[in-house]
Amino acid sequence: MALYVKAAEILDKAEKKQGALKTLVYDSKFENIKPLFALVLETQKFSSVLEEIIVSSKLLKQTKMRMNLAKVLVFDLLIGQGLKCGGAWKTMMIKHRARLQSVLARMKVKQKVSKNEDLLPASVKQVLAENLPRYVRVNTVKTTVEDAVDYLKRDGFSYLGQASRLEDLTLKEKYFVMDMHLPELLVFPPNTDFHDHFLYKAGHIILQDKASCLPAYLLNPPAGAHIIDACAAPGNKTSHLAAIMKNKGKLFAFDLDAKRLSTMATLLLRSGVTCHQLANQDFLKVDPDSPQFKDVEYVLLDPSCSGSGMVCLRDDASSADQEKVKARLAALACFQLRCLNHGLKFPRLKRLVYSTCSIHSQENEGVVAACLQENPGFRLVNLLSQWPERGLEPLTQCLRANPAKTRTHGFFVALLEKHNGAGRKKQEPLVQISDPPVTISEAVNEAEKQEPAVQISAQEATPPIPSTRRKRPAASETEDKQTPAADQADGTPSKKRKRKKKKKKKKKKKVETVETVETVKTVE
């Protein structure tokens, strides 16, 4: 029974994204690895079929078993080579065998098929037909790509150089190439096993799917940078970040699961990473304004998702479970948006990469579009123009991956960067003034130096300047004119004084006319 308990435990970890199936199997230290791996792999392949059988037969309700334990037992009972256990467990499963077989038979009749393999979802069939390559990332913290290639060549592999097209990734046994996009990624034939290889045990190579390598590669932080890996476990992306930043700087890695964080610590130790700082903490509770994170400029966010892009975690649910799937996707998208909005709050942030191993737009483009609406200071970066699979319209700057077009697991990546003007305390002027303004006197002097075709005076050349100074009145005007304030001071209204002045002028004129008449008379 130990085989089934361990297989169920590994499936539980795989669903929680604690690692790839093969890695989890080999890290389990189970005595007999091969039958364990075969059972886990086949059970996961038939996962949706087994779940429908278990739900329809109400096996969990009658046996009180967990789903993944029921799956491995039902697989061996109905599809595999028979149960490999005895005692009470075998007795219990034999008791329910007739009802389980009846449900399986009805499923075949309903879908008009005769083989168990024909019940597999179309997506699983497609992946099985394509058979994805084995990707190996060279850990440049400990070695170089050249040294790793030389070691593998001495170990019996044949190196064909760097791939230039997708077809070059279809390889025969013992041949390998360098990936066309990521220079630190080597590509081998499907099912090439490195778990017992020296380079893997020494931490010189890391078994990581190509799509999973994209987030750190596209974020591309410089050496010495301060970075946050928000949902870090199991740690492959964290070790990739450390390699890109040459193991210099600060790499803050958060994860809420203590067991996953412990596994991650072991992986980073084997990889030679020393610039990291692990924290068993919820990223949403991290304070972006904490002095500890004042220099953080880059964030990698790969939050929990449906895992629908992973071959071993296809979520092709039965029609009865579609409502549950919708509800789960809605909850995941809400959580992912919260994480993304929180990641953009770090004051010195320059770039954030967001990724999921999901094929659902609700978790991908939907989350990014909602985030951009709430954070207008950020924009999308156009990624890898030569990449064959783009994000759904209108977010074509993002990348998608799938087995058919990229020969990888299903994946999504978006890179957000802060606008050039966002976050600045003082906004720069829209128009830069290169020279200081010229004064009027300087303009006049410059005009006088030149010889224009028509001679004009400086007064005509200079436009009139509105002056704020009051013109000083002449002495005679000061005697005749007074300000309203002066009128009020001597108590005489201004209108009466004007009338008196007119009368005085008339009297003067009369006197002058009389004098002239008298002068004329005397002359006569």
On whether residue 185 sits in a domain, the answer given is: yes
Q: Give the sign of the dihedral formed by CA 481, CA 482, CA 488, CA 491.
A: negative
Helix then strand count (H, E) for the chain reads 21, 13
Domain end call among 64, 88, 121: 121
Which residues sit in the known binding site for S-adenosyl-L-methionine? Answer: 231-237, 255, 282, 302
**φ, ψ at 350 (rounded to 5°):** -105, -45
Taking residues 215-243, report their average pLDDT. Answer: 96
Of 339, 357, 371, 398, which residue is the catalytic one?
357
Q: Do 116 and 143 share a domain, yes or no? A: no
Q: Do 136 and 108 share a domain, yes or no? A: no
When divided into structural domains, the chain yields a total of 3
**φ, ψ at 32 (rounded to 5°):** -115, 95
**44-58, 282-296, 377-391, 454-468, range with the lowest pLDDT:** 454-468
Q: Which of 385, 388, 386, 382 is nearest to 403 (CA)?
A: 388
Taking residues 498-512, report their average pLDDT. Answer: 52
Taking residues 78-89, report their average pLDDT. Answer: 80
Q: Which residue has the higher pLDDT, 459 or 5?
A: 5
Q: What is the pLDDT of residue 504?
A: 55
Which residues sit in the known binding site? Answer: 231-237, 255, 282, 302
3-state secondary structure of 147: helix
Q: What is the pLDDT of residue 325?
A: 80
Token digits of residue 334? 């809400």
Which secondary structure element, helix H or strand E, spans residue 500, and what is its range? Answer: helix 494-523
Q: Name residues whose C-beta falls within 8 Å of residue 466's C-beta, 6 or more positions apart in sequence.
A: none
Q: What is the pLDDT of residue 126?
A: 63
Q: How far apart are CA 288 and CA 266, in angstroms?
A: 28
Predicted confidence (pLDDT) at residue 319 exceeds the cutoff of 90: no
Share of the chain above pLDDT 70, in %: 76
Q: Which residue has the higher pLDDT, 80 or 21?
A: 80
Domain end call among 207, 225, 242: 207
CA 289 vs. chain centroid, Å, equals 20
Residue 29, Ramachandran bin (φ over 0: left; ψ between -120 and 50: alpha; else beta): left
Q: How confident is the model at residue 507 (pLDDT cuts 50, 70, 90)?
A: low
Q: Do 410 and 277 share a domain, yes or no? A: yes
Q: Do 195 and 221 share a domain, yes or no? A: no
On whether residue 226 sits in a domain, the answer given is: yes
Q: Do 87 and 107 share a domain, yes or no? A: yes
Q: Look up the CATH number of the domain holding residue 199.
A: 3.30.70.1170
**31-35, 200-204, 419-423, range with the lowest pLDDT:** 419-423
Q: Do 362 and 328 share a domain, yes or no? A: yes
Q: Name residues whose C-beta falls within 8 Å of residue 446's C-beta, 6 or more positions apart in sequence.
A: 438
Token digits of residue 135? 């990707």
Token digits of residue 117? 């393999």
Q: What is the pLDDT of residue 80?
A: 85
Predicted confidence (pLDDT) at residue 519 exceeds the cutoff of 50: no
Q: What is the pLDDT of residue 274?
A: 96
On whether residue 108 sits in a domain, the answer given is: yes
Q: How far apart are CA 325 and CA 377, in angstroms?
A: 33
Q: What is the pLDDT of residue 18?
A: 73
Q: Name residues whose C-beta falls within 8 Å of residue 130's C-beta, 6 or more positions apart in sequence.
A: 403, 404, 407
Q: How confident is the model at residue 469 (pLDDT cuts 50, 70, 90)?
A: very low
Predicted confidence (pLDDT) at residue 330 exceeds the cutoff of 90: yes
On whether residue 487 sits in a domain, the answer given is: no
Taking residues 109-113, report their average pLDDT. Answer: 88
On whether residue 137 sits in a domain, the answer given is: yes
Q: Do 196 and 220 share a domain, yes or no? A: no
Q: What is the pLDDT of residue 514?
A: 42
Q: How far apart are CA 36 and CA 17, in angstroms?
A: 19
Residue 377's CB is within 10 A of a number of other CB atoms, namely 13
Predicted confidence (pLDDT) at residue 478 exceeds the cutoff of 60: no
- 6-17 pLDDT per residue, tens: 989 888 888 876
Q: What is the DSSP letter of 274?
A: -
Predicted confidence (pLDDT) at residue 255 exceeds the cutoff of 80: yes
Q: Which residue has the higher pLDDT, 144 or 428?
A: 144
Q: Which residue has the higher pLDDT, 514 or 304?
A: 304
Exposed / middle / buried, residue 357 (Cβ in 10 Å: 0-12, 13-18, 19+): buried
**62-66, 201-205, 368-372, 412-416, range with the lowest pLDDT:** 62-66
Exposed / middle / buried, residue 283 (Cβ in 10 Å: 0-12, 13-18, 19+): buried
Q: Look up the CATH number of the domain holding residue 227.
A: 3.40.50.150
Share of the chain above pLDDT 90, in %: 49
**68-77, 105-114, 384-393, 473-482, range with the lowest pLDDT:** 473-482
Q: Do 143 and 45 share a domain, yes or no? A: no
Residue reference for tokens 């699979």: 389
On whether residue 140 sits in a domain, the answer given is: yes
Q: What is the pLDDT of residue 16?
A: 77
Q: What is the pLDDT of residue 89?
A: 78
Annotated catalytic residue 357: yes
Mean pLDDT of all residues belonging to the chain: 80
Host domain of residue 72: 1-121
Q: What is the pLDDT of residue 1?
A: 74
Q: Which of 149, 135, 358 is nearest to 368 (CA)?
A: 358
Q: Do 157 and 245 share a domain, yes or no? A: no
SS3 readout for 386-409: CCCCECCCCCCCCEEECHHHHCCC
Taking residues 409-416, report their average pLDDT. Answer: 96
Predicted confidence (pLDDT) at residue 414 exceeds the cutoff of 60: yes
On whether residue 409 sits in a domain, the answer given is: yes
The pTM of this model reads 0.66
Q: Do 9 and 116 share a domain, yes or no? A: yes
Q: Which residue has the higher pLDDT, 459 or 398?
A: 398
Q: How confident is the model at residue 312 (pLDDT cuts 50, 70, 90)?
A: low
Domain end call among 149, 173, 207: 207
**189-203, 315-329, 400-414, range with the lowest pLDDT:** 315-329
Taking residues 74-81, report their average pLDDT. Answer: 87
* 389, 404 contact by CB (below 8 A): no
Q: What are the distances in angstroms from CA 171 to CA 13, 32, 184, 288, 406? A: 31, 30, 18, 47, 15
Q: Do 184 and 242 share a domain, yes or no? A: no
Token digits of residue 64? 């009180």
CA angle 98, 100, 105 (to 5 degrees): 95
Q: Do 202 and 215 share a domain, yes or no? A: no
Predicted confidence (pLDDT) at residue 177 exceeds the cutoff of 80: yes
Q: What is the pLDDT of residue 154?
A: 96
Q: How far apart are CA 26 and CA 110, in angstroms?
A: 39
Q: How far apart are CA 371 and CA 344, in angstroms?
A: 9
SS3 content of the chain, % helix, strand, coil (to 5): 50, 10, 40
Range list of H helices, 131-257: 145-154, 198-201, 210-219, 236-244
On whether residue 181 sits in a domain, the answer given is: yes
Taking residues 139-156, report their average pLDDT. Answer: 97
